[in-house]
Structures are given as structure tokens and as C-alpha cells.
Amino acid sequence: MSTPETASEKQFRILVLHGPNLNLLGQREPEVYGSTTLLDINRSLESMGESLQVKLSILQSNHEGALVDAIHQAWGQQDGILINPGAYTHTSVAIRDAIAGVALPTVEVHLSNVYQREEFRHHSYIAPVAIGQISGFGAASYRLGLQALVGYLRS
Ligand code: DQA
């Protein structure tokens, strides 16, 4: 007879979402976002995912509706969401409602420290529906976010 999996044994599935303009990382405002490309970030997350024994599905989109659709499709398929919503952080009630709707534990990450930047970046529609937010550590924000999400799921 098989015994139920405990949280520490289960292979968690995590949806990684990158919002608009993050496909330009490496060439986009390097003084703000650094020289790391999105491919570099994804590779580093994949290798971290392997060592943490979690399965990642990664998507970048410049379209709000595509991000909303991906969040809806995560329901029942994924155990958590790691998201850098990019500029939609500061504008998107739709992404916030999608996260609240699927009720999956979500960690919000930003490369730059949004609180040191323009005032319009100080407000996040996503933060109130996320379990936490990491901002300001460059590409490491994603790795810290993944670690935090996996720790949360296992606890
Ligand atoms: C960002 C911060 C947002 O304000 C900005 O619109 C982005 C990137 C970051 O990772 O620092 O596109 O989410």
C-alpha cells in the first residue's frame, strides 16, 4: 500500500512568468537591469530547479491577456507561481485578479529596487495577492524568489 506523499517528498511544479519587455534583458537599460539576458536567468532557474527537485514551466509575454491565460491554465497544473510582472506590476488589476482567482502561492520578483525608482513604480497591484516580494537584487531576485517559494511550499 502506498503512503501519501509528504510536502518534502513531492515534486512541486512552478510556473515562472516574465512580463513585458523582459525579453530585452541584456540590451535594455543595462544600468538599471544589468547585462544578464533572459536566457541566462532561465538557465540559472532551470539548474536551481533541478537541484531543488522542482519542475519549472517558463513563459515570457508582452501581452497582459496571455499572462492572465497562463495563470488560469496553472490552476490544477502548477503548485506555485514565480512572477516578474514588469510594468504590469503597477497597472494590472487583471493579473492581480487572476492570481487571486487561482489562489496559487505566488512570489513577485523585480530585478531593480522599484522603491528607489520613480514614484509610479512604488505601487504594486500584485503584492497584496502574493505571499511575498523580492526587489533589487538583479538576476538573483529570481533565484531568491524561487528559493522562497519552494521553502513556502515545503513548509
Ligand atoms: C521590473 C520593474 C518594473 O517597474 C519595470 O516596468 C520592469 C522591470 C524589474 O524587474 O525591476 O519592466 O519589474
Give the integer Cα–Cα distance in Å for 5 and 33: 40
Residues in contact with ligand 1 (CB, 6 Å cut-off): 21, 84, 86-87, 89, 110-112, 114, 121
pTM of the model: 0.95
The pLDDT of 3-15, averaged and rounded, is 79
Residue 4 included in any domain? no
Residues in the chain, total: 155
Residue 119 included in any domain? yes
Single-letter residue type at 143: R
Q: Which of 18, 88, 110, 125 is catalytic?
A: 110
Residues 6+ apart with CB under 8 A from 142: 16, 41, 44, 45, 82, 84, 109
pLDDT in tens, 36-72: 999 999 999 999 999 999 999 999 999 999 999 999 9
Residue 3 included in any domain? no
Helix H or strand E segment including 106? strand 106-110
pLDDT in tens, 109-137: 999 999 999 999 999 999 999 999 999 99
Placement of cell 497562463 in the chain? 70
Q: Assign residue 40 a region: left if phi > 0, alpha if psi is -120 to 50, beta otherwise?
A: alpha
Catalytic, 33? Answer yes
What average pLDDT does the structure give for the chain? 95
> How many structural domains comprise the chain?
1
Find the CATH number of the domain harbouring 52: 3.40.50.9100
